[in-house]
């Protein structure tokens, strides 16, 4: 094994950036690697990476490049969104048109109960057709929080061969999930440990709401993007712009290795990422941009 590691080492402090994430069995990093001529290196395997915490070598369990992006698109069709359902549909159409065709999308609605409108697919026609028949569930509250838990368990918890993102379009109307603050905190920790990126659009009339407050917290924790609107007229424009952000995410991710390593220390450790091949230079990101 080469002793060239030190010239390829990247040392960062992860105490502050990951302090909200509890100790977990593994942790994920994003690593781009270039050679001596600054050209991307895209043929590396798990054995090419070494990770140390506080100087102690940890087992790298996975290092993969070019994973597809799986995106759950959760749309509020509860009573709170009833007056905005037409511009909401238009906005979702604009979002779908703006994202890359290879992004895998799950379309769901959150009025009264979580409904899977379209399972994970890249078929844009199926998605557009399903958006066209989203109608308000009059008199129903949102169940966004329970829906997020179900989405995590069904589509992300045990799916390790996809980058994960969730886009939520919601209101600050009534929310009826049976989730207490401790359970929400545990769910947020699970999302963060899995590396799920959150983006959101909130139609806000009252200024406060359980689901809108929860979404703001999840977006901030994952360094995602949030738009807050008081009227729905600009939904199409904002959703198109959000699709362009997702496109940039996908482009960035295509150049990254997702490196997963055993993480007994949790947060607060000094981290080193080293390459076992000579002449390679890694750049580490602890989260997406």
Q: What is the mean pLDDT of residues 8-19?
A: 35
Domains of the chain (ranges; CATH) run 4-63+260-285 (no CATH), 69-252 (3.40.50.410)
> What pTM was computed for the model?
0.82
pLDDT at position 144 over 90: yes
* CA–CA gap between residue 238 and residue 94 (Å, rounded): 9
Q: What is the mean pLDDT of residues 73-83?
A: 94
Q: Which two tokens stand for residue 226?
A: 């949030």
pLDDT tier at 124 (50, 70, 90 boundaries)? very high
Q: What is the mean pLDDT of residues 20-30?
A: 66
């Amino acid at each position: 094994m080469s002793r060239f590691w030190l010239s390829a080492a990247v040392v960062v402090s992860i105490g502050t950036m990951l302090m909200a994430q509890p100790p977990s069995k593994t942790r994920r990093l994003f690593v781009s690697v270039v050679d001596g001529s600054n050209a991307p290196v895209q043929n590396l395997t798990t054995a090419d990476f070494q990770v140390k915490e506080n100087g102690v070598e940890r087992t790298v369990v996975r290092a993969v490049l070019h994973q597809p992006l799986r995106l759950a698109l959760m749309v509020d069709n509860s009573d709170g969104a009833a007056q905005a359902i037409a511009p909401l549909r238009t906005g979702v159409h604009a979002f779908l048109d703006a994202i890359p065709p290879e992004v895998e999308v799950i379309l769901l609605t959150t009025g009264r109960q979580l409904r899977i409108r379209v399972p994970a697919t890249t078929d844009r026609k199926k998605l557009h057709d399903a958006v066209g028949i989203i109608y308000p569930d009059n008199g129903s509250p949102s169940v966004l929080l329970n829906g997020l838990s179900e989405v995590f368990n069904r589509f992300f918890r045990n799916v390790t061969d996809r980058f994960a993102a969730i886009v939520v379009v919601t209101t600050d109307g009534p929310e009826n999930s049976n989730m207490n603050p401790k359970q929400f905190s545990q769910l947020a920790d699970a999302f963060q440990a899995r590396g799920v990126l959150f983006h959101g659009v909130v139609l806000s009339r009252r200024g406060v709401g359980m689901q809108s407050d929860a979404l703001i917290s999840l977006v901030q924790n994952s360094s995602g993007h949030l738009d807050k609107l008081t009227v729905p007229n600009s939904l199409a424009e904002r959703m198109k712009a959000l699709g362009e952000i997702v496109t940039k995410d996908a482009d960035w991710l295509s150049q990254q290795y997702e490196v997963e390593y055993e993480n007994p220390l949790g947060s607060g450790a000094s981290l080193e990422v080293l390459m076992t091949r000579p002449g390679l230079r890694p750049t580490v990101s602890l989260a997406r941009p």
